[in-house]
């Protein structure tokens, strides 16, 4: 679910109930729910409490890092693609590196895949 805060804003109660149901079903069937947002402060506690992990790329400030991860550290990440993951259940932070794709990389991939015209 991308930009999950956008779903919460218009009708907070209905979305909260739906999200709780999705999280409960995901636990029952051992499925991970991945949510993305740039506005974690807008999410209700009931939704935040059901997220077992938080990950973050470089942030502008320690305050932003703490808002997202509940820990500082993301402000000091230097390489593109580096992220910090906080396992909230185990109170563990780990550093990971993922592939960083620029817009030009994505255009190149799509142009050469033969499936899409840009």
Q: In whole numbers, what is the pLDDT of the chain averaged over residues? A: 78
CA angle, 106 then 68 then 38, to 5°? 45
- In this predicted structure, the answer to whether residue 118 has a pLDDT above a threshold of 60 is no
pTM: 0.62
Higher pLDDT, 10 or 83: 83
- Using the 8-state DSSP alphabet, how is residue 54 labeled? E
Task: Read off φ and ψ for residue 91, nearest 5 degrees.
Answer: 55, 45
CA angle, 42 then 46 then 51, to 5°? 85
- 83, containing H or E segment: strand 82-87
């Amino acid at each position: 679910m991308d930009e999950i805060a956008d779903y919460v804003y218009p009708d907070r109660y209905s979305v909260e109930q739906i999200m709780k149901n999705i999280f409960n079903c995901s636990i029952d069937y051992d499925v991970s729910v991945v949510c993305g947002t740039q506005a974690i402060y807008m999410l209700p506690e009931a939704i935040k409490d059901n997220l077992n992990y938080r990950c973050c790329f470089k942030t502008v400030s320690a305050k932003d890092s703490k808002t997202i991860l509940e820990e500082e550290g993301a402000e000091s990440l230097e390489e593109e693609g580096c992220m910090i993951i906080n396992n909230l259940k185990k109170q563990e932070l780990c550093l990971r590196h993922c592939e960083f794709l620029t817009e030009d990389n994505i255009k190149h991939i799509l142009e050469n895949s033969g499936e899409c015209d840009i």
